[in-house]
Amino acid sequence: MFKDASGDVQRDAFWNSPIFRKHKDEDMFQYLNRMNRIFHLDARLLHKMYPNDLNDQEKKRIIFKGVPYQWKENFRHTGMDLADITMKELVNYMQKEKQAADLHDANRTKNRQQEMRKITGHRRSRKRKSQSTNDEDKEEKTDEGYNQCRKHPQNKHTWEECFLNPRNPNNKLNNKRQKKSKFHSSRNNNATANNGNNQNNNQPPVAEQRAAESNNNQSPPTSTDAGATVDNIWG
């Protein structure tokens, strides 16, 4: 693959491959161990392609290129020179960078979770408040002059509205009783009227009634009255 390429250009193209970068879940010591195995493989199998094997400076440069960009920027800001430190010093420094990055990620995750819990808590609080308000409204409607039907406690109507309430104008049983009472009253009135007509039909005419009353009011004749009458006749 790299036989026709020459020297450092070929080697740089090879070691800049993403497969030689540090994995996110690796710490620096794990990364160094993995790369040392690759360096050993390079020395055994690929040494014929290059005039010389990798030296320590080249290995440090490959390790340095494999870490995240921000870590490299932080290293440059320290004023240190890659050529003046050992591989151990480089790995220790980058391990501290990883710990700081892990802590930052953990805090960011924690803050995000807290924000989510806060948002969820606000939603639950609003829901409970809304439910409490609805319950209070229901209680107010129940307490303030609301007379639940005693016959139908599961239904949504008052005792005054119930058809079984005797004082309700729309009471079905009451209406039946009123109709029945009116029916009996009408029958009684008709019977009374008929009886009156029958009595009037059986009575004699008015003139006869008065004559009878006049006769009944006259005194019976005495013996003196009778004698005078006889004398008058024979006299």
pLDDT tens, residue by residue, 207-230: 555 555 555 555 555 544 444 444
pLDDT tens, residue by residue, 121-161: 777 777 776 666 655 555 555 555 677 887 788 777 887 88
pLDDT tens, residue by residue, 81-131: 999 999 999 999 999 999 999 999 999 888 888 888 888 877 777 777 666
Q: Where are the domains of the chain?
A: 1-146, 147-199
For residues 36 and 66, give the distance between their C-alpha atoms in angstroms, rounded to a whole number.
13
Q: What integer pLDDT is reported at residue 211 of this predicted model?
A: 55
For residues 217 and 222, give the distance between their C-alpha atoms in angstroms, rounded to a whole number.
16
Q: What integer pLDDT is reported at residue 187 of this predicted model?
A: 66
For residues 88 and 23, give the distance between their C-alpha atoms in angstroms, rounded to a whole number.
19
**pTM score, two decimals?**
0.45
Higher pLDDT: 25 or 130? It is 25
Helix axes 28-45, 87-143, angle to 10 degrees: 140
For residues 61 and 85, give the distance between their C-alpha atoms in angstroms, rounded to a whole number.
11
